[in-house]
Amino acid sequence: MNDPATHFATAASGTPTGTGRYVDRTAITPVEILPGLSFQPVLGTDTLLNFVTYAPHSEAPLHTHEEEQVVLVLEGELHFQLNEHTRVMRPGDVAVVPAWVPHGAHTLDVPCVQVDFFNPPRQTLVAQADAAIAASSQLCG
């Protein structure tokens, strides 16, 4: 069981790696990587979060990558393939994709919004995320 005093400790035991920032997702210009499939990435120091929007009848083809990925469905319905198993995911459903595991997704008649968490940051999204930082961040000081 987690100890609240330990979990919410206020004594710093390390050196901050940055000042932190707030991100306005609406200020991140979506990039359509395939027809009906748009990305809005947010880059941290060691993690990348990516808002993914699927139009009805769109697809993220089966693929692999070196980064671990956690998928969280926020809105709609997504047919998600992990290895050779496909499951319909709805809001609140989560899939964990280890490095190099084949996966892909598609929508039918219902659009979908999902959030992907990548560790380390997904290299194919870093440049887009860097560009979004200037447009959508408010630094904390």
pLDDT at 4 over 70: yes
pLDDT at 26 over 60: yes
pLDDT band at residue 21, thresholds of 50, 70 and 90? confident
Tell me the DSSP string of 95-129: EEE-TT--EEEE-SSS-EEEEEEEES--GGGHHHH
How far apart are alpha carbons 106 and 59 in whole angstroms? 4
Q: What does pLDDT average to over the chain?
A: 90
- Residue type present at position 32: E
- pTM for the model stands at 0.88
**Chain centroid, CA 25 distance in Å:** 12
pLDDT band at residue 128, thresholds of 50, 70 and 90? confident
Q: Higher confidence at residue 42 or residue 129? A: 42
H or E, element range at 71: strand 68-76
Per-residue pLDDT tens digits for 49-100: 999 999 999 999 999 999 999 999 999 999 999 999 999 999 999 999 999 9
Per-residue pLDDT tens digits for 92-121: 999 999 999 999 999 999 999 999 999 999
In the numeric block, the tokens 């598609």 are attached to 106
Give CATH superfamily name and number for 22-139.
Answer: Jelly Rolls (2.60.120.10)
